Structure 1
Amino acid sequence: MTNETQPRRRGPVLFGLAAAALLAGLAGIYVIGGADGNRQEAGACSGALARAASIGAAAQGEVAAFLPATKAQSLSDLAFLAPDGSQMTLADFRGRTVLLNLWATWCAPCRKEMPALDRLQAELGDEDFEVVTVSVDQGSPDKPKAFLSEIGVASLAFYSDPTMGIFHKVRSYGRAPGLPTTLLVDGEGCEIGALMGPAEWDSPDALALIRAAMEKGRAAMEDGKK
């Protein structure tokens, strides 16, 4: 009878240990979002919320699905690989407005919108703005690189995350139910808003939205210097 009852006793114990481990893991994930972390993030990104609210009217036509941020969210620690394969984060683009696009070659809408993103980078890309398209294809980067070459992408740099870590992290913020997902980020690494799904990113509507965000960002920087 002892041998028969022991396994029954271990079940709840193992479940309790697993639950404790899960809670500990969640605590580890959300530790930065504790009381102090929330206040610091809200303070650092409060300006982005104001800009998000002010450009909401520009989200129309081809970018009508753009959702302005409604809470302070720093994205500066999102990590991925640079074109040379080295590790980097969105914080490396500090001072620039960034359109962060998550995509994969197995995502048909992603493939369709990539030429428009390339044209957007050619049109607006400079020291104040960059389109950062991050491939989340797993395995070798050869496949996504070959695809970009085949469609004639000339202005976009190749960023990647074969671990899909960036996708899962953005998804935990409620911003990536699938691919493609695109986030507009200010020069402090704070979310201005997001669009889930494809869009014509080189359309007049998209250009107007992005330019509005950039103008608000420049105005904020000028105010900060005073």
Structure 2
Amino acid sequence: MSDQSAAKPRGRILKWALWGAALVGVAAVLYIMAKASTKPAPEVNTGPKPAAEAAAGSVLEKFSRADGAGPPPDYLFRDADGKAMKIADLKGKVVVVNLWATWCAPCKIEMPTLAKLQADYAGKPVEVVAISIDKEPDVAEARAFIGQHPPLKFYSDADAKLPWQVKPAVAGMPTTIVYGKDGFERGRVAGEADWGAPDAKAVIDRILAEG
């Protein structure tokens, strides 16, 4: 047999082998596409969720009195006009002190719910005091943010010392401390919560009723 005759069967075998490899490749691609189509699409993070969805836990679940809690510290912060004041200046009201900062995303998420709480108690002895601990370069931003959430008023502790003056000290932002009309702490919530929800009002109503 000549070399030319022997080459023909080898050529046909190579040709069929190449076709077989191509078919296997196509089948593999189709299989991968089919598997991918059965998986859920990845969740896209589009930014902070609405406060009603994002608030982590209810006020009623998270509200508790810290060991060693008592009256507020004798520490000065500033109101919107720059006047120095203390939490004790509001004695006679139920005072909801919220410690927050513009760099704290959960603080900003829950702020509309604190505004709703204040609006719900319009004309009653309940005062929501959201105190920014932003340093001086960021005070203007904090003031503008509170301005977007009426009827809240702007308060500032640009020295950022109030969280450590409270007894026991505040571990993180946001923290909300509720003082009774007698000026003593009734409890606090560490972390964000929905202060516009009915259970939050139940907590405030109970403290109001204590006289």
Give the TM bin, normalised by the shorter chain: 0.5 to 0.7
1:186-205 mapped onto 2 (5 Å cutoff): 186-205=180-199
Superposed CA RMSD:
1.8
1:95 aligns with 2:95: no
Determine if the alignment matches structure 1 residue 63 to structure 2 residue 60.
yes
- In the alignment, the residues of structure 2 paired with residue 136 and residue 72 of structure 1 have an alpha-carbon distance, to the nearest angstrom, of 21
Deviation (angstroms), 1:169: 1.0
Which piece of structure 1 moves more, 199-208 or 188-197?
Answer: 188-197
1:99/1:130 contact within 8 Å kept: yes
Structure 1 residue matching 2:158: 3-state secondary structure: coil
Deviation at 1:61, TM superposition (A): 4.2
Per the normalisation by structure 2, the TM-score is: 0.68
Matches of 1:72 and 1:108 in 2, distance apart?
27
When the two structures are superposed, what TM-score results if normalisation uses the length of structure 1? Answer: 0.64
CA distance in 2 between counterparts of 1:202 and 1:137 reads 24
SS for the counterpart of 1:64 is: helix
CA displacement, residues 153-172 of structure 1 (integer Å, 9 cap, x when unaligned): 110010110001111212xx
Match of 1:105 in 2: 102
The one of 80, 84, 107 aligned to 1:83: 80
Which residue of 165, 169, 194 maps to 1:169?
165
Flag the 1:62–1:93 CA change in 2: closer, same or farther, 3 A. closer
CA deviations over 1:79-124 (Å, ceiling 9, x no partner): 2101110110011101111000000000000000000001110111
Q: Report what 2:210 is aligned to.
A: 216
Shift of 1:126: 3.2
1:188 Cα deviation (Å)? 2.5
Between Structure 1 and Structure 2, how many residues are aligned? 154
Pick which of 179-188 and 77-86 moved more: 77-86
| Structure index of larger Rg | 2
Structure ranking higher in helix proportion: 1
Q: Distance in 1 between matches of 2:69 and 2:146?
A: 34
Gaps of 5+ in 2: 1-56
